[in-house]
Amino acid sequence: MLDVDITLRRGRFELAAQMRTQVHRVAIVGASGAGKTSLLRVLAGLEDGVRGHVRFGEATWLDSAEGIALPAWQRGIGWVPQRALLFPHKDVRANLLDGASHDAPEAVAGMLGISDLLTRRPRNLSGGERQRVALGRALLREPKLLLLDEPFSALDRSLRGDVADAVLDYCDARTIPIVLVSHDERDVERVADEVWELSQGQLDRIT
C-alpha cells in the first residue's frame, strides 16, 4: 500500500496530493507544470519542506507531524528522472553497478540492448542510450518501488515498446511496483493498472 497525503509549496504553486493505492503499476498524468515530477521527487525523498505523510507498506517515509523524513537512500527507491543523470567519469558498467545489489550487470544490459556499451563513457552515448543505462542502474538496485519520470521519452519509437516490456517483465518477476509519469498515452496504456491525473496541484484517480 502506498499512502500519500502531502502538501508542497513552491512560490505561488501548491501541490496538495492524496493517494491510497496498492501500487502494482500506477501512472500519473497531467499537463506540463501540474506538479507530476515534484510528486515523484516527494516520494523519492528529494524535496524539502513537505508537510503531511508518505507511507509505503509498513514503513513511514515521511510524517511531518512526527518529525520523520527518511532520506532517499533509506527508502529503497529506484529513481529514473526524465534526464538521465550518469557519472561522467565512469563507464557504463560502473554506472550500472552504482548502488547495485550484485556485481553482474550483463543480464540487465542485454535485456535493455546496451551490452556493447559497457566500456563507454556517458559523453559517447546518445540520449536514448543514456536513458537505458539509467533504467538499468535503477533495476539493478532491486528497489522496493520504481519511480519513472518520462523514462522512454528519449528512445526511438522502434525501441520504446521493447524496452518498456523488458522493464515490466523484470519488475513483475521481482514484484517491484512502479509509479510512472508520462505524457505518452501508449506508455500509460502499456504500463498502468491505475491512472491518476494531477491538475492544478490536485490528484484524482481517473481509472
pLDDT confidence of 119, banded at 50, 70, 90?
very high
CB 81 within 8 A of CB 149: yes
d(CA 37, CA 43): 10
d(CA 5, CA 73): 21
What mean pLDDT value characterizes the chain?
95
Per-residue pLDDT tens over the stretch 142-199: 999 999 999 999 999 889 999 999 999 999 999 999 999 999 999 999 999 999 999 9
| ∠ Cα 136 140 144 (to 5°) | 115
Per-residue pLDDT tens over the stretch 51-64: 999 999 999 999 99
What's the whole-model pTM score? 0.96
pLDDT confidence of 104, banded at 50, 70, 90?
confident
CB 186 within 8 A of CB 157: no
The predicted pLDDT at position 117 comes to 98
Compute CA distances 106 → 47, 101, 140, 195, whole Å.
33, 13, 10, 33
Which residue from 33, 29, 50 is spatially nearest to 198, judged by alpha carbons? 29
* Stronger pLDDT, 102 or 59, i.e. the higher one: 59
d(CA 164, CA 191): 8
Q: What are phi and psi of 54, to 5 degrees?
A: -135, 120
pLDDT confidence of 23, banded at 50, 70, 90?
confident
The predicted pLDDT at position 201 comes to 80
pLDDT confidence of 101, banded at 50, 70, 90?
confident
**Domain with 124 in it: what CATH number?**
3.40.50.300
> Which position has the grid cell 527518511?
70
C-alpha gyration radius of the chain: 17
- How many domains, in total, are found in the chain? 1
Domain interval for residue 93:
2-205
DSSP letter for 58, please.
T
d(CA 103, CA 61): 28
d(CA 91, CA 124): 10
> Which position has the grid cell 520504481?
146
The predicted pLDDT at position 103 comes to 77
Does 139 score more than 90 pLDDT?
yes
Q: What is the mean pLDDT of residues 101-113?
A: 91
